[in-house]
Structure 1
Amino acid sequence: MDTKTLIQTYFQAFNEGRTDDMLDLLHDQVEHHVNEGEIRRGKALFAEFNAHMTDCYREKLTDLVVFADDSGDRAAAEFTVNGTYLKTDEGLPPAQGQTYCLPAGTFFTIRDGKIARVTTYYNLAEWNRQVIG
């Protein structure tokens, strides 16, 4: 599958809560660069992160636009995160079912037809402002 389709399929799986299908699209040595966090290496840590996020947040991504370079080795996506804060996440404000809406972006490296790097950025200060009220 071409790079744009790969990334669109990844985000479709996210929106449908099919995190195992997301894992199938990842390279075995995937690097997950998290906004404001440590780099996670490998599918096992990516799966652990997804489980944690599913426990604390319910999110749907809209307004998705996917870009890819001519080689298909690098891609980016811009989107809006529409979420509900379900369970208090360590180091963050208490969760009380607050909703939030944030612009975000993700950068990808593709290797061997799989996603080898996922780097996501969003404005954490704005997220805090929205959930604190």
Structure 2
Amino acid sequence: MTDLEPVRTYFAGWNARDADAILASLTEDGTYEDPSTGGPISGSALKAYVTGLWSAFPDLRFEEDSLDSTGPNRAASQWVMLGTNTGSMRGLPPTGKSVRVEGSDFFTLRDGKVATVKGYFDGGAVPRQLGLDIIVQPSQIGPFKFGVSTEVQTGRLDEPVAFSITTLHARNDECVQQVREGSRASLIDMLKMDGFIGATTAVIGHRMVTISAWDSPEASRRVMKEGAHAEVQKGMYDGTLASQGYTSVWTKARMNPLMVRCDGCGKMTRGPDADRKCKSCGEALPDALPFW
């Protein structure tokens, strides 16, 4: 009969949120693996992984459904992971939402400790329960490359007069993550700046682009000198984050009138005048969305 006490000690470390206790429950060469780790991890990598989880879910805990021996020096456990997202996860602000994830771990044991842990669970369960989008798409098909984008709006309906465009090629996946975190902080700074209207960012592989709209070219220059954006720029210019990149400011040459669909007649009409009436049927027009 396999002694299950090492597994109980391992889970006790998790529920105590004690990374050193988890590591102590493993053999010197012990490893942990689950769908999000990209393979077996151990030592400092495992410690960083569990502390990152606790940072995002400070109350994270496991409730055991079952724990059984599956053979000599082997065991399996079914569990439920519970926690509330009150800390930042991957640079995102906390959602305050709770998660419940069912999973199982399979253990090999040696010398009274855990030698390997292989965990299995639905990798999309946490982001879905936090209200995050899960996008499955190819990275490239022929000349087309795919990625993700983010929009930030102030709610202003002004026509943009200037656009700031920053693009860079990050050196590697780790640099992409660093730039994304810096970009989020920069956009938060921009929301506080006079003249800012809105922005759209895109990440396509290692290529990263930010296009922001402003009410004047002068207003757009402020972001280049202040806050988080200046720090990301520093990382681009000194070569720690990017292999190449540029910044630029573009001014408006022409902008056609905003067109709005009338819910009454279904026709597109020029953006709302002061009377906010459809020019075709006279019905009240819906509120206009931000121009950018």
Q: Sort the TM-score into its range (normalised by shorter chain).
A: 0.7 to 0.9
**Does 2:75 correspond to 1:75?**
yes
CA RMSD across the alignment: 2.2
Gaps of 5+ in 1: none
Amino acid at match of 1:27: T
In 2, Cα distance between equivalents of 1:116 and 1:84: 30
Sequence identity, in percent? 21
Counterparts of 1:37 and 1:63 in 2: how far apart (Å)? 22
Q: CA deviation at 1:7?
A: 0.7
Does the Cα contact within 8 Å between 2:55 and 2:88 map onto a contact in 1? no
What displacement does 1:89 show?
A: 2.4
Q: Which residue of 1 aligns with 2:38?
A: 38
Structure showing the higher strand proportion among its residues:
1
Provide the rounded CA distance (Å) in 2 between the counterparts of 1:51 and 1:106. Answer: 19
What are the equivalent positions in structure 2 for 1:118-129 lying under 5 Å apart?
118-129=117-128
Contact 1:40–1:46 (Cα < 8 Å) also in 2: no
Shift of 1:102: 1.6
- Residue 130 (structure 2) aligns with: 131
TM-score by length of 2: 0.41
Q: Following the alignment from structure 1 to structure 2, what is the Cα–Cα distance between the partners of residues 60 and 41?
A: 20
- Higher relative contact order structure (alpha carbons within 8 Å, sequence separation ≥ 6): 1
What TM-score do you get using the length of structure 1 for normalisation? 0.83
Kindly name which structure, 1 or 2, has the bigger radius of gyration based on alpha carbons.
Answer: 2
Q: Shift of residue 80 of structure 1?
A: 1.0
Q: Which residue of 2 aligns with 1:96?
A: 95
Q: Tell me the residue number matched to 1:84.
A: 84
How far is 1:129 from its partner? 2.2
**Is the alpha carbon distance of 1:127 and 1:52 closer, same or farther for their aligned partners in structure 2, counting shifts above 3 Å?**
closer
Distance 1:43 1:13 in 2: 15
2:67 maps to which residue? 66
The CA distance in 1 between the partners of 2:83 and 2:18, in whole Å, is 17
Q: Secondary structure at the residue paired with 2:44?
A: helix
Displacement after TM superposition at 1:128 (Å): 2.3
Superposition deviation, residue 105 in structure 1: 0.9
SS at match of 1:89: coil
SS at match of 2:95: coil
Q: What SS class does the counterpart of residue 130 from structure 2 fall into?
A: helix
Cα offset, 1:78, TM superposition? 0.4
The total of aligned residue pairs comes to 130
Quick one: distance in 2 between partners of 1:94 and 1:123?
23
C-alpha displacement of 1:63:
3.6
Contact 1:26–1:43 (Cα < 8 Å) also in 2 = no
The structure carrying a bigger helix percent of its residues is 1
Aligned-residue offset at 1:54: 1.5
Is there any run of 5+ residues in structure 2 with no aligned partner, and where?
Answer: 133-292
Post-superposition shift, 1:94? 4.7
Find out whether 1:14 has 2:17 as its counterpart.
Answer: no
**CA displacement, residues 89-129 of structure 1 (integer Å, 9 cap, x when unaligned):** 228x6531210112111111112222111111211223222
The answer for the alignment partner of 1:107 in structure 2 is 106
